[in-house]
C-alpha cells in the first residue's frame, strides 16, 4: 500500500484492503481451499475468477438450501486428518455453539504448513437468527494456540467502531466517512502522550476494541 493511501485511508479501509489482498493470494495457492460456512459458492470474498489453476475450491455449509459444494458441520468436518491445504472461515464462529471445536477441526484437517484465515466480530451488534459469541484478541490467542504461527489483525479501530454504531451499522456510509475521522485519531493519540499512566492504559485498551479481528493462522 502506498504512503499516500496510508494517509488518506482510515484504518478500517486499510485493514479491509489487506484482508482482501491476503484472500486473493490464498485463492491462488495450489491444493484444496475450503470455505467454511461459505454458503453459496463464490458469494463472499472469494470469487470464481480469483481461483488459481491448481486450486480446488469447495464451499461447506450446514444449510442445504444455500447450495454449497458440501453440506456439513464446521464442528465435525467430513474430511480425513491432514487432507486440506487451506481454509477460509469468515463471520462463522460467532454463530455456532462451540467455536473452539470448529477451530480444533480446522487444525485437524489442515496439512502441515496449511493456513486458516478466519474473520470474527468483537464490538458488533447481534445479527442473524442465531448469534452466540464475540471474541477479544486475548481469547483468539488462546483458541488458536495449537497453531504454529498466529497473527491477529484488527478490523478497523475504536473510532471506526463508534462511527459504525452512529450510522446504524451501515458499512458503506461508515467506510466513506472513515477518512474524515483521521484528525480525531491524531488528537486522541496526542492526548495519550500527555495524560497520566492510568488514562494511557485505558486508552491503549480502546485500541484493542475494533469491530472484529482477522486471524491468520498456520499449522
**In-domain check, residue 76:** yes
**In-domain check, residue 93:** yes
CB 56 within 8 A of CB 69: no
Each residue of 140-149: pLDDT tens digit?
Answer: 999 999 999 9
**In-domain check, residue 20:** yes
**In-domain check, residue 117:** yes
**In-domain check, residue 180:** no
Helix (H, G, I), strand (E, B), or coil: what is residue 191? Answer: helix
**In-domain check, residue 187:** no
Higher pLDDT, 200 or 72: 72
Tell me how many domains the chain contains. 1
Q: Inform me whether the pLDDT recorded for 178 exceeds 80.
A: no
Mean pLDDT of the chain: 87
Each residue of 87-127: pLDDT tens digit?
Answer: 999 999 999 999 999 999 999 999 999 999 999 999 998 98
Query: For the whole model, what pTM was predicted?
Result: 0.87
**pLDDT for the residue numbered 200:** 58
**In-domain check, residue 190:** no
**In-domain check, residue 166:** no
What is the radius of gyration, based on Cα positions, of the chain?
18
**Residues 6 or more apart from 211 whose CB is under 8 A from it?**
12, 121, 122, 123, 124, 155, 156, 160, 161, 164
The three cell numbers locating residue 9: 485511508
Each residue of 23-79: pLDDT tens digit?
Answer: 999 999 999 999 999 899 998 889 999 999 999 999 999 999 999 999 999 999 999
**Residues 6 or more apart from 180 whose CB is under 8 A from it?**
none
Q: Inform me whether the pLDDT recorded for 205 exceeds 90.
A: no
**CATH assignment of the domain containing 124:** 3.40.50.150
Amino acid at each position: 500500500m502506498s504512503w499516500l493511501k496510508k494517509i488518506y485511508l482510515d484504518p478500517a479501509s486499510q485493514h479491509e484492503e489487506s484482508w482482501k489482498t491476503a484472500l486473493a493470494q490464498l485463492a491462488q495457492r495450489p491444493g484444496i481451499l475450503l470455505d467454511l460456512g461459505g454458503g453459496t459458492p463464490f458469494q463472499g470474498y472469494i470469487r470464481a475468477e480469483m481461483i488459481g489453476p491448481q486450486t480446488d475450491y469447495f464451499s461447506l455449509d450446514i444449510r442445504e438450501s444455500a447450495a454449497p459444494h458440501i453440506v456439513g458441520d464446521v464442528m465435525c468436518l467430513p474430511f480425513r486428518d491432514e487432507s486440506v491445504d487451506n481454509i477460509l472461515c469468515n463471520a462463522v464462529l460467532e454463530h455456532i455453539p462451540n467455536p473452539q471445536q470448529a477451530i480444533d477441526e480446522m487444525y485437524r484437517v489442515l496439512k502441515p504448513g496449511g493456513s486458516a484465515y478466519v474473520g470474527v466480530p468483537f464490538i458488533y451488534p447481534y445479527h442473524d437468527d442465531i448469534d452466540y459469541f464475540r471474541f477479544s484478541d486475548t481469547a483468539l490467542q488462546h483458541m488458536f494456540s495449537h497453531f504454529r504461527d498466529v497473527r491477529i489483525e484488527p478490523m478497523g479501530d475504536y473510532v471506526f467502531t463508534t462511527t459504525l454504531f452512529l450510522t446504524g451499522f451501515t458499512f458503506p456510509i461508515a467506510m466513506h466517512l472513515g477518512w474524515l475521522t483521521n484528525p480525531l485519531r491524531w488528537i486522541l493519540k496526542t492526548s495519550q502522550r500527555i495524560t497520566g499512566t492510568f488514562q494511557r492504559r485505558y486508552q491503549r485498551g480502546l485500541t484493542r476494541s475494533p469491530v472484529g479481528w482477522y486471524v491468520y493462522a498456520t499449522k
